[in-house]
Amino acid sequence: MRVAFAGIFSGSLEPRVRAHLSIPCEVVVGDETGIVSEMADVDVLVSMAFTRAMAAAAPRLKLVQVPGAGLDRVDRAAVPAGAWLANAYGHEVGIAEYALGAMLALTREYARLDAALRGGTWLSQWAVGPPPPPVWPELAGQTLGIVGYGRIGRALARRARAFDMRILAIRRDVARAVGDDLDRLGGLEILDEVLREADHLVVALPLSESTRRLLGARELALMKRTAVLINVGRADVVDPDALYAALAGGRLGGAVLDVWYRYPTDGSPTLPAREPFHELPNVLMTPHVSGWTEGMLQARARLIADNIARAARGEPPLNHIPPIA
């Protein structure tokens, strides 16, 4: 078997995958453009992107293995008829932990308290002179809305239940989640209800034509003025203009954003959105790192190695993505 790893992330996984391989493989590593010239006898391509040029250069291709969950950069129509397409997860635990930590960090204002205390100011009941600050809410008893109840949503719900939160969840295929420990489960028909009731709304949806700008001005206006929106899915599920206006205008309590509208293309500083979210004190910004954990890397390396062995045996891969109808 000849396996090609294309791109920075795929290449960084190569040593981990190699450590888990159960069959002998010849490996080539390169960037997404240069790898095309190496693909004439490649059986498996590990890459976040797949193009028609890659397909044309790889007549022996058996498997296109995306080392992440998103298929944003995969031309699914270009996948050869005789090849499998698969993606990889393993990030759900890290993202669930991130989301809960983000709820606490924003609700309890850790950053503001830390900055003040570093200057000697006690924003607490221990201060001498000024009245104590308003008390913060606890997560216990609050309502968590999960839009996109897949692997991430399920991992988050299990952990939120330990915090004694009320949990409302939305997923497309409701039948696959019946029996889970949820207070409410439904499809998009309950979206407005979830938006109205959620104290914390976690968006964990992939981007597709049906989810693009799913949450716009109308939807955000339904949310509580104290609610916090946490996006760990894809940025464009939420309309950026509407989100900025709601946050800046005090119509939404806060937001935690880990996925973005703009990403770096070179080494220069890159603001992650056209809108100045970085100027808002009620926004916590992180650079798409919620799933970047040791556990995620190990889980994906094991899965990719397993799928390479499956391809060698002519078996369908784990996390198979069906072809476009």
Alpha carbon 114 to its chain centroid, in Å, reads 28
Torsion 193-179-200-137 (CA) sign: positive
> Does 145 share its domain with 167?
yes
> Does 82 share its domain with 140?
no
CB 23 within 8 A of CB 312: yes
**Position 314 pLDDT exceeds 80:** yes
Dist. CA 183–CA 304, nearest whole Å: 36
Beta bridge partners of 6: 30, 47
> Does 10 share its domain with 104?
no
> Does 82 share its domain with 97?
no
**Position 277 pLDDT exceeds 90:** yes
> Does 135 share its domain with 264?
yes
pLDDT band, very low/low/confident/very high, at 291 (cuts 50, 70, 90): very high
> Does 99 share its domain with 155?
yes
Q: Within a domain: residue 322?
A: no
Q: Within a domain: residue 48?
A: yes
> Does 138 share its domain with 267?
yes
Instruction: List the domain range (segments joined by +) for residue 43.
Output: 2-90+294-313
> Does 64 share its domain with 85?
yes
pLDDT band, very low/low/confident/very high, at 70 (cuts 50, 70, 90): confident
**Per-residue pLDDT reduced to its tens digit, 72-108:** 899 999 999 999 999 999 999 999 999 999 999 999 9
> Does 26 share its domain with 47?
yes
pLDDT band, very low/low/confident/very high, at 325 (cuts 50, 70, 90): low
Domain count, the chain: 2
> Does 44 share its domain with 140?
no
Q: Within a domain: residue 321?
A: no
State the CATH number of the domain containing residue 25.
3.40.50.720
**Per-residue pLDDT reduced to its tens digit, 199-217:** 999 999 999 899 999 999 9
Query: What value does the CA radius of gyration of the chain take, rounded to a whole number of Å?
Result: 22
Select from 227, 233, 232 the least CA-distant residue to 246: 227
Determine the average pLDDT of the residues in 214-222.
98
> Quick one: pLDDT at residue 178?
73
> Does 12 share its domain with 112?
no
DSSP code string of 50-104: B-HHHHHH-TT--EEE-SSS--TTB-GGGS-TT-EEE-----HHHHHHHHHHHHH
Q: Within a domain: residue 320?
A: no
> Does 119 share its domain with 212?
yes
Tokens of 251: 């119509």
